[in-house]
Amino acid sequence: MIFFNFKKTVLTGIATLVVLCLSDDLYAQSVTPQAASSFSWTNLPQVAQPQFKKDTIDIRTFGASPDGHTLNTKNINDAISACNGRGGGVVLIPAGYWLSGPIELKSNVNLHLADNAFVQFTADFSQYEIIEGNYEGKPSARNQSPISGRDLENIAITGKGTIDGNGDAWRMVGRNALTEGEWREKIASGGLVSDDGKTWFPSEKTKLAHEEKRSVLLADGGKLSDFEDIKDYLRPNLVVLTNCKKVLLEGITFQNSPAWNLHPLMCQDLTLRNVLVKNPDYAQNGDGVDIESCARVLIENCVFDVGDDAICIKSGKDEEGRKRNIPTEQVIIRRSKVYLGHGGFVVGSEMSGGARDIFVEDCTFMGTDKGIRFKTTRGRGGIVENIHIRNINMSNIVQEAIFFDMYYWTKPPQANEVQVVPEVTVETPQIRNVFIDRVTCNGAAIGVFMRGLPEMPIQNIRMSNLFLTADRGVEIKDAQHVSIDNATFHTDKSNRLIYVENAKGLFFDQLDYDPDVSQVLEVNGAESNNLRFKNAKFDIKQIKLDHGARSSAVQID
């Protein structure tokens, strides 16, 4: 091995930059081994599908009326119960406008919506009972979901129809989320406006809960009746399936949910196929699908256009999630599109039960706030590992294309801020073993952003074949064993390409970037070490060292 020593002035003082020719085995040394897993791209998880009898029951047999006015709650539920009682089959909702209250699914029943069947849930809140539900992994008071099922097996919602949650009747909205015309229309529809004129509320109960900052969580000793005075504020998720097995959602448009659209919780063998999920962009908590503590999941050929995270992996929050201890695992997501949303594919932040063996491929994210998004924070605990992502296209991403952050909803330290580092405990989250290949993004604020905790760095992240056009290239803080190879960056020439702070074991190979970039690399912190560049084309003048960073930390060929 050949070493060339250069003595150059970098910032203030004299620094020595070590330049070496990297042998191929150094690549393997730059990352830690993958944790044992039996799954891979050539051995994907298998998801069992439900099977149904061909017997069909038409809801009109039970007196349902498609006039958009008659409340068909009992008619639809009676049809489902009768089908279940006969050993299962298909409950048909024909073409037409069907108004309903909450629908409860039953085992061995396929609820099938014909083409041009439109099921809309009533805005009469008295039709929804206050029940014990789940909010961000914690027991909470919620209104009964428009569609729900618990402890079921062999269930489906299929067809070509539309299920509408009438969400605008439930949700408050900020003035800055609407155009002036939309705001005037919202006020004209009824409801109330906050004293400062910035927020519209659909009812007095919603306004009261917001102004008093009332919690929806069921604390020790709390009763459901305690929430009657803020009932309207307890927005339900559109579809909630709890502890169900062999579930299929196929072909349906799910839209306008009061809160999350689809929430499978502790389910097994779940398939979403050819589903369209829509919520207005101003819909707070308007997630597309939240897969929580589920095993063996397939999402394919779906479209999401929502007001929050689109495809989200969760497993409970903090102590409750750790006690449940059910990870989301063995998930396949492929050939799906995301339009608006906070994130395209998202893990967290409620991941206290862990997430593992997840495969995402052939997806397109357009106009989302972030593209690939991992988020957690101290207190969560849980391990996110063995995540495989490939063949992702992104366009007009508002913030980061690829994003890892362990300071969700907490104040992160300032750049190079001296911190008191806590001990690692069961409350310390971990993100490790993430493999990302072939990502193209045209338009983002930052191409790759990674921020771990000083006591628990993000670990073993391998990215390859990236083609990113962004204002800034790469920012890595408190991470170790990260590799980026065969990556092309088109960035603002006035910005640095790569920023590193207190990171170890980084490996970069075959980076391509615009030649007029003024600064390729900035390294900060005495903890930064073993930063290796192979097939590099920049020189010492394009490197900045600061805040205790040593020149020996950087090694290039």
Structure tokens at 469: 């056009």
Euclidean distance between CA atoms 336 and 274, whole angstroms: 9
Euclidean distance between CA atoms 309 and 336, whole angstroms: 14
Euclidean distance between CA atoms 141 and 152, whole angstroms: 22
Identify the DSSP state of 24. Answer: T
Tell me the torsion sign for CA atoms 513, 528, 347, 420.
negative
Of the candidates 78, 164, 318, 342, the residue annotated as catalytic is: 342
* 241 in Cβ contact with 268 (< 8 Å): no
* 281 in Cβ contact with 312 (< 8 Å): no
How many Cβ atoms are within 10 Å of 380's Cβ, its own excluded? 28
How many Cβ atoms are within 10 Å of 550's Cβ, its own excluded? 16
Structure tokens at 92: 């048909």
Terminal Cα distance for the chain, rounded: 11
Q: Using alpha carbons, list the distances in angstroms from residue 377 to 156, 428, 540.
A: 35, 8, 36
Euclidean distance between CA atoms 430 and 428, whole angstroms: 7
Sheet order of strands, 192-193 included: 173-174, 199-201, 192-193
* 474 in Cβ contact with 447 (< 8 Å): yes
Confirm whether 342 is a catalytic residue. Answer: yes
Q: Which of 465, 546, 469, 458 is nearest to 501 (CA)?
A: 546
Beta pairing class for 268-273 and 245-250: parallel
Alpha helices in 298-407 (DSSP H): 318-324
Confirm whether 308 is a catalytic residue. Answer: yes
Of the candidates 269, 290, 308, 478, the residue annotated as catalytic is: 308
How many Cβ atoms are within 10 Å of 47's Cβ, its own excluded? 21
Active site residues: 308, 342
